[in-house]
Structure 1
Amino acid sequence: MRDDNVLIALVAVFVPLSFASIGGGTSILAGIQHQAVDVHHWVTSREFVDMFAISRAAPGPGSLLTTLIGWHIAGWAGALIATLALYVPSSLLCYGVAFVWRRHRGKVWHTALEEGLAPVGVGLMMAGVLVIMQLSGGGVLPWLLALGTMALLLRWPKLHPLPLFFMGGVIAVVVRAAVS
């Protein structure tokens, strides 16, 4: 594929995902994975998981994964185009909706729409989590750690995530060392 075609493909993939990102970048992980790995074969499953980990470790939004994918397939131009294609459309839409949204606060349809979109966002985020868990290939341990973390956060919602990350890492290292 020529460079121009790759850049156009990045726009064609990330603009629609931008509009589907109800709930943030996590909500479109499944779509990003499907397009980048299964449809366009820009990255392998392993590369996708690695890029996901890097995007989560780096400061800034986790959806910087798109920047890494763009960089991987088309260098600086790909990184810029992928990032702009993901952030600009939804930002403009959000700005426009917020402008209208404030005028109708308290109306029945406003409340119904707000409450109806919450489970959509949660469902999209869960799809992203499931994709990452399946691609990681870590076996049962990551699933158990995720379920344990979820249980702790449901019990103590104000618990800071850093101790949970640390505990999960320690448990994973100890279990892997014991199995080896």
Structure 2
Amino acid sequence: MSVAELGALFLHFAALSLLAIGGAMGTVPEMHRYLVDERGWMSYLQFVDAIALAQAAPGPNVLFVTLLGWQAAGGLGALAATIGVMLPSSLLCFAANRFQIAHREARLVRAIRRGLSPIAIGLTLSAGWVIAVANDVNWKLALLTVGAALFFLFSRRNPLWLIALGACAGAFGLV
């Protein structure tokens, strides 16, 4: 990968960083469009596998960005993508926090806080959709997904029970 392409990777992820309301997962659809569809630096399955591997690993949720950069351009790509996602949003968060502390009771600050939650939820759902359509959808998986969503919405039980149930269903070939 050329220096210009590494720069393009960095700048694209830096721009996405400023749109990542609620976390980097909200920008997964755009990362997919850029890395898979536009640039062709990886396949659809490589993209989804990188996200799945990073989510399974301990550590921060944003680890998938490093794996996507690695998949696209090796070590320098991992560095460019990670710094691109982390630096702008970190600087913006620092500045926004300073502003919020200084103007805590302002109507604008309260309105922004209330407005960001639905945006974060929508972005996260769109990321889930991009990841979900990578799999061959069948009625068993759809039922399992709906059941898991209802479990999380209406239960206060530990999510590890659901993970264990899914592992058992997979081990016995039910899904």
TM > 0.5 fold call: yes
Q: Tell me if the contact between 1:133 and 1:143 (Cα under 8 Å) persists in the aligned partners.
A: no
- In structure 2, the CA distance between the partners of 1:140 and 1:178, relative to structure 1 (3 Å rule), is closer
Whole-Å Cα distance in 2 between the matches of residues 96 and 170 of structure 1?
A: 47
Whole-Å Cα distance in 1 between the matches of residues 174 and 79 of structure 2?
A: 44
Which residue does the alignment assign to 2:157?
Answer: 159
Q: Gaps spanning 5+ residues in structure 2: where?
A: none
Whole-Å Cα distance in 1 between the matches of residues 10 and 139 of structure 2?
A: 37
Is 1:4–2:14 an aligned residue pair? no
- In structure 2, the CA distance between the partners of 1:50 and 1:92, relative to structure 1 (3 Å rule), is same
Is 1:95–2:70 an aligned residue pair? no
Q: Tell me the secondary structure at the aligned position of residue 42 of structure 2.
A: coil
- In structure 2, the CA distance between the partners of 1:18 and 1:64, relative to structure 1 (3 Å rule), is same
Q: Tell me if the contact between 1:133 and 1:142 (Cα under 8 Å) persists in the aligned partners.
A: no
Whole-Å Cα distance in 1 between the matches of residues 51 and 72 of structure 2?
A: 15
Q: Tell me if the contact between 2:29 and 2:126 (Cα under 8 Å) persists in the aligned partners.
A: yes
Which residue does the alignment assign to 1:40?
Answer: 39
The 5-angstrom pairing of residues 42-121 of structure 1 reads 42-121=41-120
Question: If each structure's helix is expressed as a fraction of its own residues, which one has the higher value?
Answer: 1
Q: Tell me the secondary structure at the aligned position of residue 136 of structure 1.
A: coil
- In structure 2, the CA distance between the partners of 1:14 and 1:63, relative to structure 1 (3 Å rule), is same
RMSD: 1.7
Report the Cα offset of residue 76 of structure 1: 1.4
**Stretch of structure 1 that moved more, 137-146 or 17-26:** 137-146
Please list every run of at least 4 consecutive aligned residues from structure 1 whose deviation after the TM superposition is greater than 6 angstroms.
none
Report the Cα offset of residue 49 of structure 1: 1.2
| CA-to-aligned-CA distance 1:68-122 (integer Å, 9 cap, x gap) | 1211232211111110001111001000110111111122222111111110110
Q: Tell me the secondary structure at the aligned position of residue 171 of structure 1.
A: helix
- Equivalent residues, number: 175
Q: Tell me if the contact between 2:35 and 2:72 (Cα under 8 Å) persists in the aligned partners.
A: no
Report the Cα offset of residue 171 of structure 1: 2.0
- In structure 2, the CA distance between the partners of 1:139 and 1:45, relative to structure 1 (3 Å rule), is farther
**What amino acid maps onto 1:165 in structure 2?**
I
**What amino acid maps onto 1:150 in structure 2?**
A
**What amino acid maps onto 1:167 in structure 2?**
L
Report the Cα offset of residue 178 of structure 1: 5.3
User: What is the TM-score with the length of structure 2 in the denominator?
Assistant: 0.91
Whole-Å Cα distance in 2 between the matches of residues 72 and 63 of structure 1?
A: 15
Q: Gaps spanning 5+ residues in structure 1: where?
A: none
Give 1:171's match in structure 2, choosing from 166, 169, 172: 169
Which residue does the alignment assign to 1:26?
Answer: 25
